[in-house]
A and B are shown apart, each in its own frame.
Chain A
Amino acid sequence: MKVAITSVVIPIILALAISLPALAQQNSTITITMTGLNEISISLDKTQWPLGTVASNTEYETSPQIQWCTLTVQGTCNVNTFIVGDDAKWVSDPNTYKWTLSNDGTNSEHIYGLWFRISGDTTRGYVPITKTQGEFWPYSGGSSLAPGDTKQFGLRLLTPTYFYSSRQMQTQITVSAVAA
């Protein structure tokens, strides 16, 4: 009798001891919170810069220089903004020829530079646009942009010191935003 009871009770105690931590875990009701029903939105009033034919090793700037395009923060939330560039690819055959975007705004053979400058940004002046996402409006000091804010900016292109002629090149610059 004693052996029979022991053989029942000990497994129960062992089972409870093993399952206790699992029982003690918190309830798992999944909660999804949409922060308010905030909308994130920015707009640009210009998206094209038709340069036409360009020469090698030459700088081109938008006109007006730093009030060429206006970014407007819409939506209902403050935003941090970024800018990123890309290689310029030959429109006819993007896989065979490109200008590589430099990582410091300088140029070389088949390597070009891109810069942007925001009106009112007196500390940075022209800032290189690279293939790594960087700050557009400098928010790291705590100055994110609020709905209704506008920022005017311009671009500067530095063509390669040498490139293949008669090829139409195309690139893209992406301005992005995330809730601050």
Chain B
Amino acid sequence: MVGHIKLAGLIPALLVIILPPLTLAQDVNFGVSPAEVRISDLPPGNATEFELVIHNKDEIAHNFTVTTFQPPEQERREGRAEFPDDSWISFSSPGIEIAADSQANVMVAIAIPQEQKWAGRDWEIWLGVACESPDLLGVELYVRCLVSTAGGKLNIGLFIGSAVGLVLLGCGVYYYFRRRLKSG
């Protein structure tokens, strides 16, 4: 009797599941440009923006989403650190519908807070563009976004020149007082 009950419970457990929906198979085909964006000398406290172009090469319209993605260290370009805060990056539209064989632009804005600790840094973050789909297989394309902030490196020539000027100014003041004292 116990054996029958166990078997009755087992049979339904063996007969289930459908993985993806039973609809016609489709391919997925789209592109994003540029593949890599390099932003240099962005001062803390400033913002900049650029455009991503998403090209839906499919024969039907698709919804696309744009998000940020922190790549693992080994995937980043040499010398690049993790981007400190995803919230510094915003998109004109994080989701967009693009008609068949058409393209659309998404504006990406990057704003660095005004704190000196963010000066002179080299970061990398990826911008992921994915085609929304309930299918088993999906595609996501990443745009490498390389951001370098300004202000961390001293211009040695200007610094030395300014220091020499400062010393000369000090000497001038000193001799001026000496002459005044002697003449007085």
Report which A residues bind B (CB closer than 8 A).
2, 5-6, 9, 13, 16-17, 20-21, 23-56, 69, 74-77, 80, 88, 91, 133, 157, 159, 162-179
User: Which residues of B127-144 are within 8 A (CB) of A?
Assistant: 128, 130, 133-144
Do A176 and B38 touch across chains, with their CB atoms under 8 A apart? Answer: no
Min distance, Cβ A123 to any Cβ of chain B, angstroms: 19
Given A39-B32, A177-B141, A179-B144, residue A33 in contact with residue B136 (CB < 8 A): no
Min distance, Cβ A176 to any Cβ of chain B, angstroms: 4
Contacts of B170 in A (CB 8 A): 13
Given A20-B162, A74-B29, A176-B139, residue A32 in contact with residue B37 (CB < 8 A): yes
B81 is an interface residue with CB less than 8 A from chain A: no
Query: Of B19, B24, B31, B143, which is within 8 A of A49 by CB?
Result: B19
Contacts of B153 in A (CB 8 A): 25-26
Q: What residue of chain A has the Cβ atom nearest to residue B180's Cβ? A: A2
CA A38 to CA B171, docked complex, whole Å: 58
Query: Of B13, B33, B144, B166, which is within 8 A of A37 by CB?
Result: B33
Given A33-B38, A44-B139, residue A24 in contact with residue B162 (CB < 8 A): yes
Min distance, Cβ A14 to any Cβ of chain B, angstroms: 10
Do B137 and A173 touch across chains, with their CB atoms under 8 A apart? Answer: yes
B92 is an interface residue with CB less than 8 A from chain A: no
Do A175 and B138 touch across chains, with their CB atoms under 8 A apart? Answer: yes
Query: Of A9, A24, A46, A170, which is within 8 A of B25 by CB?
Result: A46
B80 is an interface residue with CB less than 8 A from chain A: no
- Tell me which of B43-51, B83-91, B93-101 binds A: B43-51
Query: Of B39, B48, B139, which is within 8 A of A43 by CB?
Result: B139
CA A169 to CA B128, docked complex, whole Å: 26
B42 is an interface residue with CB less than 8 A from chain A: yes
Q: What residue of chain A has the Cβ atom nearest to residue B11's Cβ? A: A165
Do B16 and A49 touch across chains, with their CB atoms under 8 A apart? Answer: no
Given A32-B38, A74-B31, A169-B19, residue A42 in contact with residue B139 (CB < 8 A): yes
CA A88 to CA B136, docked complex, whole Å: 10
Contacts of A133 in B (CB 8 A): 72
Min distance, Cβ B138 to any Cβ of chain A, angstroms: 5
CA A28 to CA B32, docked complex, whole Å: 29
Query: Of B15, B17, B34, B46, which is within 8 A of A34 by CB?
Result: B34
CA A73 to CA B80, docked complex, whole Å: 26
Contacts of B16 in A (CB 8 A): 53-54, 163-167, 169
Min distance, Cβ B26 to any Cβ of chain A, angstroms: 6
Min distance, Cβ A100 to any Cβ of chain B, angstroms: 14
What are some 7 contacts across the A-B interface (CB < 8 A)?
A: A25-B155, A27-B41, A32-B38, A34-B34, A56-B13, A88-B19, A163-B16
Do A33 and B40 touch across chains, with their CB atoms under 8 A apart? Answer: yes
Do B12 and A25 touch across chains, with their CB atoms under 8 A apart? Answer: no
Contacts of A26 in B (CB 8 A): 41, 150-151, 153-155
Query: Of B14, B23, B33, B46, which is within 8 A of A40 by CB?
Result: B33
Do B19 and A177 touch across chains, with their CB atoms under 8 A apart? Answer: no
CA A170 to CA B18, docked complex, whole Å: 7
Contacts of B159 in A (CB 8 A): 20-21, 24
Min distance, Cβ B143 to any Cβ of chain A, angstroms: 7
Given A44-B28, A77-B35, A169-B17, residue A30 in contact with residue B48 (CB < 8 A): yes
